[in-house]
Structure 1
Amino acid sequence: MCQRMQMPIITSRYWNMVHGTNPKEVQQDAEGMQVMQVLGNNMAFGLNCKNVAMKMGLSMPEEPEFTYTNFIH
């Protein structure tokens, strides 16, 4: 069985979005662009941490058997 992360959550400073109706307007959203830059840096850091940990012999957490619940009876 292949081990993988279920759902890594990488955050930034605020909502991960920029605003604009076209690329030029998006580039004018200075706050949104900064949020995305921080998000990208944090994603790269997270991937680097995972790679270093794997090289040092730290394995991914064991994946439990999948459980599905159907609430419609």
Structure 2
Amino acid sequence: MPIVTSTYWNMVHGMTPDEVRKDLEGMQTMRNIGRNMAWMLKGFAKQEKETSFADHVETTYRTDFHY
């Protein structure tokens, strides 16, 4: 499963929106994770155009406990 990462913990600190905006490192981290998410989604879209995303996944055998 793809996981989007950033440069540090993905959080900001503050009790109000104004306090959060003063957390410069937190805001930078949020911008980085946003850019990384966009980059990953663009990559998925590009791959989808080129081939089926999960064409390599086997689905022949399934365990089914309902008889």
**Using the alignment, how far apart are the partners of 2:47 and 2:18 within structure 1?**
40
Structure with the higher fraction of residues in helix conformation: 2
Quick one: which of 42, 48, 58 aligns to 1:54? 48
Structure 1 match to 2:13: 19
Using the size of structure 1 for normalisation, the TM-score is: 0.73
Unpaired segments ≥5 residues, structure 1: 1-6, 67-73
Unpaired segments ≥5 residues, structure 2: none
How many percent identity over aligned positions? 47
Larger RCO: 1 or 2 (CA < 8 Å, sep 6+) = 1
Task: Quote the RMSD (CA, aligned, Å).
Answer: 1.9
Using the size of structure 2 for normalisation, the TM-score is: 0.79
**Using the alignment, how far apart are the partners of 1:13 and 1:59 within structure 2?**
27
Quick one: which of 36, 40, 59 aligns to 1:42? 36
The structure number with the bigger radius of gyration is: 2
